[in-house]
Amino acid sequence: MAKVEFFFDLSSPWTYMAFHNIQPILAETGADVVWRPFLVGGVFNAVNKAVYAAREDSTGPKARHYAKSLKDWAAWSGLPMNFPSEWHPVRSVHAMRLCCALEDDQAALARFAEAAFAAYFGEQRNLDDPDILRDIADSIGMDGAVLLEQSQTDPVKLKLRANTDEVIARGGFGSPSIFVNGEDMYFGNDQLPLVKKAIESVD
């Protein structure tokens, strides 16, 4: 059976769609998935600084097509995409630490990620605000106050740093970075058909 590792940062609209669109692939193929939170800003700073230069050109033809493609993909995925908001680009370190606090409980992590994605991209809520993160966790039956406290502990902070360093060491350069059976890496929502093919090719 194939193993899929899905490295993600909640601040990425393409990751929001990929998180949604990979679900039927996982269900159809029966692949095991491990959700892996990391800090995409740390990856950009280390190996993909060109992202920041690209953000400065918000009116050129490539930027206009990017915005159209984002809306087209969101419509195709059946997801609300109220983006960008006043919080973009959001500082995601608090949110990703909270995700790391949940990483050992994969079902809980997936539930929180789904709710947080919807809050940021559907409702334009600020994921850099600890009160909002607490409210998101509370809304799905978790103890947001306890999770926030856990997210500030040294082991959780070190876990986020380790996950980020791992993405870089394995050749990742953004979110989502998806690995099939360890070494076979794919990047982004649009490569999910290739992810499915790779899963199906595993004996």
pLDDT in tens, 135-185: 999 999 999 999 999 999 999 999 999 999 999 999 999 999 999 999 999
Angle between helices 154-169 and 93-101 (to 10 degrees): 100
> What was the pLDDT predicted at 55?
63
| Residue ranges per structural domain of the chain | 3-200
Residue whose pair of structure tokens reads 């194939």 in the numeric block: 2
Tell me which residue has tokens 């004996």: 203
Strand partners, 34: 5
CA triple 45-50-54, angle to 5 deg: 125
Q: What is the CATH number of domain 3-200?
A: 3.40.30.10
Mean model confidence pLDDT for the chain:
94
The alpha carbon of 99 is separated from its chain's Cα centroid by a whole number of angstroms, namely 10
Please give the pLDDT value at position 203. Answer: 61
Beta bridge partners of 8: 37
* Confidence label for 53 from pLDDT (cuts 50, 70 and 90): low
pTM, rounded to two decimals: 0.94
Query: Dihedral of the CA atoms 163, 167, 173, 179 (nearest 10)?
Result: -120
d(CA 93, CA 25): 29
Residue-wise DSSP of 62-125: HHHHHHHHHHHHHHHHT-----S-TTPSP--HHHHHHHHHTTTSHHHHHHHHHHHHIIIIIT--
Quick one: which of 18, 17, 8 has its CA closest to 43? 8
13-38 pLDDT, tens per residue? 999 999 999 999 999 999 999 999 99
